[in-house]
Amino acid sequence: MVNFTFKNKNLKIVEKFFILVAISLAIIIAGFVYMAIGGMNLGVEFSGGSNIQITVHNFEDIDGNAFKGKVISWLEGDRDGKDGVDKNTKVYDVDKNVQSSGRATYEFRISNEMKDETGKMVDLYDIPEGSEQPKLYHENVEIRDLLTEDLTKWIVEKYNVEETSFEVEIEPHIIGNDVKNYTVRNAFIAVAVAIVVILAYIAIRFSPIAGLAAIVALLHDVLIMVSLTTIFQIPVNMTFIAAVITIVGYSINATIVVFDRVRELLALPSNIEKTDREIANEAVVGTLSRSILTTVTTLVMIAILAIVSSIMGSTAIREFAIPIIFGLVAGLYSSSFLSASVWVYLRKAFKQSNKKPNKKVKKSKAVAEVEA
């Protein structure tokens, strides 16, 4: 069995706190600057708007780029989709999702308004008289039928195939403002509830100061995830929210191991003269190998998942895996290099520096495994 431990037991992690924070701040600021300039790649759940999913059956040799170009030309040309573009969204985004042999799905973001055959702007959210559905779904509006017909003709001409040898299926999806606001609100509530529950748990198990330090580390992880997701233009949708909540739960586990070690070191009579800085540094060094090994093994599996999903065209899995990778790296960084240091400075701020508990604390199972 490989024993992966750090020989240097005198790493000055707390003393380098402000340098380590500066690295994180640089990434966070870069992300928010990019967000202010270029915006986030918001999914339709958070920005509102309309999605058109185009599935081509029984046709394996379709040229994805040409197919995308034709649809965009149709939207911007014949139907004048530009006039209805929301400047804050990435309107003509497209993904190819190969679901099985002979079947490929392309997803397009379109504007909420387009011109009809008479040149009149059509609001896709309008519900025609006598109908219960918006116009995008309504049989009297050409969005679905004419797009299907246009693409079918183009494939016949482009690839010189019989129209009966394949099928084009159009599936529109509309997210209105009410649904968008509901989704955004619930996403924030989900993340907030997770953080509050974790704060309560850490405060009860360790101390309120340890709880605050853990929450600072979690907020760091979330901000890093948001920043890198913005920089690399990963879609921000409900899949991303699921990734954030997953990382919140995963990251706190590594932080708990560090604070377990801190608590046990504080209780040792031999450490009665040690300062909070010395205790924190020793706790981090003692758990660093465990944190690195568990994170790396998880990273390897998630990276493989991201690569395979990209090859297979599974968009949803890729959009989940990539933010998870960002969060895992951020979680390793915060639990190992920030959380204990934040604890030291919070203890100083609340005038509890160098206070030791009056009784011994039994070693936790997690820390016992680290020492084994």
DSSP 77-88: TTT-GGGG--TT
CA distance 184 to 325: 23
- Structure confidence by residue, pLDDT tens digits, 276-310: 888 899 999 988 888 899 999 999 999 999 888 87
Q: Is the pLDDT of residue 162 over 50?
A: yes
Q: Which among 259, 119, 274 is positioned nearest to 201, based on CA atoms?
A: 259
pLDDT value at position 333?
A: 94
DSSP state of 42: B
The C-alpha torsion from 342 through 343 and 344 to 346, rounded to 10°, is 80
- Res. 242 pLDDT band, cuts 50 70 90: confident
CA distance 63 to 179: 35
**Average predicted confidence (pLDDT) for the chain:** 74
CA distance 284 to 213: 14
CA distance 206 to 361: 11
- Res. 26 pLDDT band, cuts 50 70 90: very high
Percent of the chain scoring above 90 in pLDDT: 19
Beta bridge mates, 104 = 56, 98
pLDDT value at position 1?
A: 43
- Structure confidence by residue, pLDDT tens digits, 171-213: 666 666 666 677 778 888 888 888 888 888 888 888 888 888 9
Q: Which among 235, 153, 210 is positioned nearest to 357, based on CA atoms?
A: 210
- The predicted model gives 141-154 an average pLDDT of 65
pLDDT value at position 139?
A: 46
Q: Is the pTM of this model over 0.95?
A: no
Percent of the chain scoring above 70 in pLDDT: 57
pLDDT value at position 178?
A: 64
Tokens, residue 229: 């997701």
- The predicted model gives 38-51 an average pLDDT of 73
Question: Which residues of the chain form beta strands (DSSP E)?
Answer: 49-57, 94-100, 103-110, 113-115, 121-123, 167-175
Cβ neighbourhood burial of 264 (10 Å; 0-12, 13-18, 19+): buried
φ/ψ of 268, rounded to 5, equals -75, 130
Q: What's at 141, amino acid-wise?
A: V
CB atoms within 10 A of CB 293: 12
- Structure confidence by residue, pLDDT tens digits, 83-129: 333 333 333 344 444 444 456 666 666 666 665 556 666 666 555 56
